[in-house]
Amino acid sequence: MRILLVRLDGIGDALACAPLVAALRAAGHELGVALSQANAAIFSETAFEWTHVLRRNPWPAHGHAREDVSATIASARRIGYELALIASEEPDAYALAAGCAPRRVGFVNGWEKPLKSLRARRFLDRAIVRPASLSRHTEHEVETLFRLGGRLFDERTPTRDLARLRPLVVGGGGETERGEYLALQLGPKWDAAGIERAVLARLEAALVEVLPVQRLGANDRTGFASEDEMRAWKRTIAAARVLVTPDGGAAHVAGMTGTPCVDLFPAGAHLRAQMRRWAPWASRSALLVADRDAPVVSAARELCARS
């Protein structure tokens, strides 16, 4: 079957689909993917037979460029997709899928968001209920997205096999030779977590005492200058002994490529739910609350010793 996966949002959101993609490929389906510019190169060039990239309309407008939507629909009809799996919850993702495939599967929020659910159901042949409230999340995002596959494959649970997942992200085989460095993801999420620049500088100086530090600048919040830059960023993470990062796209690259990860989550009312939902999927990890006293260096040292 020819299947289109629609994922028009961020890097971590897209990578949470990797076990679903692995299962669909193993079942013999031909896959295409619709991505946004923000996550256009997050999968390897061999993960999908067809890739459609849509430009997001400049803020504060919603949705994606009309000409890209039209071009994607026209291309989808030439390809002949039979089914679209809508992993995004953005309204325009549902409208796009409706133009690309005769059958669609996606998510609704049930009675938590009844109007939004009614609008989404208009586009769906099969609707999967997922909670809107973080307080009701009881599973990892990977497990939620895996349910989109339904009866399209025989696998009961999403794989954690790096030999299957890693090639979907960085290509090549399922193993890599680790470099003798720590990767440190920089960017605005440290500020959002309440970690001042002076604290981050002291943290970096302490990490250098463990291994040399490779600083990473761009991420899913700041964007990349090109797809080649995003691919180089992925390779650097995939080859690191350990990644240290605020929770976000970098942590999920690590989680799908086997790089041990110190993953710092901002404190909040739904901290445990967020950790449960977004922990790196298939790699060893230390999940920490992001504050100036977080034991980042000791966690990185322990993960290095085990890698």
The pLDDT tens digits of the residues spanning 211-233 come to 999 999 855 444 787 889 999 99
Q: Is the separation of the CB atoms in 211 and 241 below 8 Å?
A: yes
In a domain, 168, yes or no: no
* Residue 218 pLDDT: 55
170 falls within a domain: no
The band of 62, judged by pLDDT with boundaries at 50, 70 and 90, is confident
- The answer to whether the CB of 286 falls within 8 A of the CB of 303 is yes
* pLDDT computed for residue 65 by the predictor: 87
Position with higher pLDDT, 279 vs 138: 279
Tell whether 155 and 7 lie within a shared domain. yes
Domain-located, residue 172: no
> What is the distance between the alpha carbons of residues 143 and 291, in angstroms, rounded to a whole number?
29
For residue 290, what is the domain's CATH number? Answer: 3.40.50
> Is residue 171 in a domain?
no
Give tens-digit pLDDT for 245-292: 999 999 999 999 999 999 999 988 889 999 999 999 999 999 999 988
List the structure tokens of 237.
């993470």
Q: Provide the residue range defining the domain that includes 7.
A: 2-159
- Please tell me whether residues 233 and 152 are part of one structural domain: no
Residue 34: pLDDT over 60:
yes
Who contacts 105 (Cβ-Cβ below 8 Å, separation ≥6)? 83, 84, 85, 86, 124, 125, 126, 127, 128, 148, 150
Are 221 and 280 in the same domain?
A: yes
φ, ψ at 255 (rounded to 5°): -65, -25
Mean pLDDT of the chain: 91
pTM for this predicted structure: 0.93
How is residue 210 written in tokens? 């463990």
Instruction: Give the pLDDT mean for 29-40.
Output: 94
Instruction: For residue 19, tell me if it sits in a domain.
Output: yes
Question: Residue 29 has what pLDDT?
Answer: 98
Q: Count Cα neighbours of 99 within 13 Å in the Cβ-side half-sphere.
A: 14
Does residue 169 fall inside a structural domain?
no
Instruction: Answer yes or no: do 10 and 155 share one domain.
Output: yes
Q: Kindly state whether residues 137 and 227 are assigned to the same domain.
A: no
Are 151 and 8 in the same domain? yes
State the total domains in the chain: 2
Radius of gyration of the chain (CA): 19
259 and 300 belong to one structural domain: yes
Nearest to 262 by CA among 237, 235, 231: 237
Q: Are residues 106 and 243 in the same domain?
A: no
Across the range 230-238, mean pLDDT stands at 94
How far is Cα 123 from Cα 247, in angstroms, rounded to an integer? 32
Q: Is residue 175 part of a domain?
A: no
3-state DSSP assignment of residue 126: strand
